[in-house]
Amino acid sequence: MKLDHRDVQVWALRTGTSSGVVEQFLQVLTPDEADRAGRFHFDRDRRSFVIARGALRMLLGSYLGIAPESVPFKYGSKGKPALAQTSTLEFNASHSGGLAVFAFTDGCELGIDVEQIRPIPDGIAIAHRFFSSEEVSDLLALPVKEQERAFYLCWSRKEAYIKATGDGLSTPLDQFRVTLTPDRPVRFVHLGHSTAAAERWTLHDLQIDPGYAAALAYPDAKRPVSVSPLIEPEELLTLLDRRAKP
């Protein structure tokens, strides 16, 4: 596959599938990754991990023109994966519930996050603990029926940012602000209370599935973003096989 300069390509994949298809994805994992998969207590979590990690390897292999099982990973101090070879290709991945999402671009760190929207009785208490005071105010100003989705929009946008920086939860979530209400453009309001820093970043809302919230963040001016239709694991195998043929 080809990635034009500055383009961001986002892939979205369902992780539920048959045992036979899971086995095909398992074949491209390293022994360490397969061992990690085997340590999941619930089979659905094991299958989800296998599909998500296998798909990441397959997509990276297609972009790089190498076998999926040969894609070399390295990890930052907070666990962010990157390519352990000379390449300008940058990527990030996330999975939640029954979906996995993957983002790829050239020469720019990026973060992507997806969150399954489900009831959380203590959502407001969590917001008070982790969101900025302005975000909490924005959340509480919404009609109650809209607050659940807005909570997950806020959370996914914050997660996308800290995944892009590679700092993980060592970055206090209440020290930067994102928009979360339907009537406001998706953006960073401030980063570390600096509006100038926020202007150097771009934030996208990703429409993947009505039952999920998803976001993409990167430290650059706005790039063209394409989002693939949500596909099944079997479809990804067929698509990549077709593209690999001369």
pLDDT in tens, 3-59: 888 999 999 999 999 999 999 999 999 999 999 999 999 999 999 999 999 999 999
For 72-112, the pLDDT digits (tens) are: 998 887 788 899 887 899 999 999 999 999 999 999 999 99
Alpha-carbon gap, residue 124 to 130, rounded angstroms: 10
- Which of helix, strand or coil describes residue 113? strand
Residue/partner pairs of 136-139 with CB below 8 Å, 24 or more apart: 138/179, 138/180, 138/181, 139/180
- Beta strand 202-205 with 176-178 is unpaired
pLDDT at residue 245, as a whole number: 65
Alpha-carbon gap, residue 140 to 84, rounded angstroms: 44
Angle at 11 between CA 119 and CA 130, to 5 degrees: 35
pLDDT at residue 123, as a whole number: 93
Q: Domains plus CATH for the chain?
A: 8-108+225-244 (3.90.470.20), 117-208 (3.90.470.20)
Alpha-carbon gap, residue 216 to 225, rounded angstroms: 9
pLDDT at residue 224, as a whole number: 97
For 142-186, the pLDDT digits (tens) are: 999 999 999 999 999 999 999 999 887 778 999 999 999 988 999
For 225-238, the pLDDT digits (tens) are: 999 999 999 999 99
Report helix, strand and coil shares of the chain as percent, to nearest 5.
Answer: 40, 25, 35
Determine the angle formed by the axes of helices 31-38 and 43-64, rounding to 10 degrees.
160
pLDDT at residue 211, as a whole number: 97
* Helices of type H across 131-193: 133-141, 144-165
DSSP state of 71: P
pLDDT at residue 246, as a whole number: 62
For 184-228, the pLDDT digits (tens) are: 999 999 999 999 999 999 999 999 999 999 999 999 999 999 999
pTM for this entry: 0.95
